[in-house]
Amino acid sequence: MKSSSTRRSFLSQSAATLAGASMACAAGDPPKKATSGPSLKGRIFKALKGSKRQKGESLEAFFARLQAIGFDGLESGRAGEAAAYRAASAKTGFRIHGLVNGGHWGVRLSDPNPAVREKGRANLERALMNAHVLGGSSVLLVPGKVNGDKETHEHVWERSIEQVRKVLPLASRIGVRVLIETVWNGFCESPEKFRDYIDDFNSPWVGAYFDIGNMQKFAPAHEWIRVLGNRTVKLDVKDWGKKNGFCRLGEGDVDWDKVRSELKAIDFSGWATREGSDGSIEDTSKLIDELLIGV
């Protein structure tokens, strides 16, 4: 596993500026609020992951409701409805900023079977095309899983890089980036290792999709942000605590003031998508404002 010593200038200039397994704990005490540190108002674009439509609610009405609450967009996992989502987005002006790659946990790019890896690559290509149809700027990808002797850390590193590189000509042609999510897959569980993994692609079309809550288990979220720097293109918004696991924003161990300070230090501007739930989507919008944006 080698870390590239140089990266294209486009990557360093564009990663911070390209904008576009969670469980919720029961709400308990009021979450902690931002007390210090900078405001990121105007630099963070709020989004939800997936669909929280009410029964019988049209896509247009759903998007309008999210806009009224204060959300800027949505990240979709519904590739089969890409055309309908794109049409509703065009009518309302509500953005679909990206797509979650379907099936990446089961059909892994790190699988010991080459045929399965090729199938995973084909799935990724379809996701890139669907994201393009949606008008999105990225596909979120879990690159594999350390899964015993046949899927080691080195296997995930080498096999996933090999497969992702095959789709980069398509990604560059349609203008959709592959963003690797930080997840609990036994892979790159330190910010330095994940940084080096992203650098090994040596491509402006691959970046980091940093999940704030996921990686709190391994090192403070703000340390990950500092080390990854402008490799981070988009954020998943979650909170996590040693005592309560994934929970309502503000009730875990994430130091949101320091998170904002580090995001400001790397000049981050981009999409932040809530994965999980709080008391309501209205509650989520308010918590993101208070904790992540600092307003």
DSSP state of 7: -
pLDDT of residue 76: 85
Distance, CA of 120 to CA of 126 (rounded, Å): 10
Residue ranges for the chain with pLDDT beneath 70: 1-35, 77
pLDDT of residue 51: 75
Q: Which DSSP string do the residues of 72-107 spell out, in sequence order?
A: -EEEE--GGGHHHHHHHHHHH--EEEEEEPTTTTTS
**Rounded to 5 degrees, what are φ and ψ at 151?**
-140, 80
In tens, the pLDDT along 266-290 reads 999 999 999 999 999 999 999 999 9
Query: Can you tell me which residue has the tokens 């999980």?
Result: 276
In tens, the pLDDT along 132-179 reads 999 999 999 999 999 999 999 999 999 999 999 999 999 999 999 999
pLDDT of residue 25: 41
CATH number belonging to domain 22-293:
3.20.20.150
Residue 196: count other Cβ atoms within 10 Å of its Cβ.
Answer: 16
Q: Which residues contact 213 (CB under 8 A, 6 or more apart)?
A: 22, 221, 236, 237, 238, 239, 240, 246, 252, 254, 276
Contact call for residues 295 and 39 (beta carbons, < 8 A): yes
Q: Which has the closest alpha carbon to 193: 148, 156, 222?
A: 156
Distance, CA of 254 to CA of 265 (rounded, Å): 18
Please give the model's pTM, rounded to 2 decimal places.
0.87
Burial 202-212 (b: 16+ CB within 10 A, else e): bbbbbbbbbbb
Q: Which has the closest alpha carbon to 254: 76, 46, 37?
A: 37
Contact call for residues 224 and 262 (beta carbons, < 8 A): no
Residue 8: count other Cβ atoms within 10 Å of its Cβ.
Answer: 13
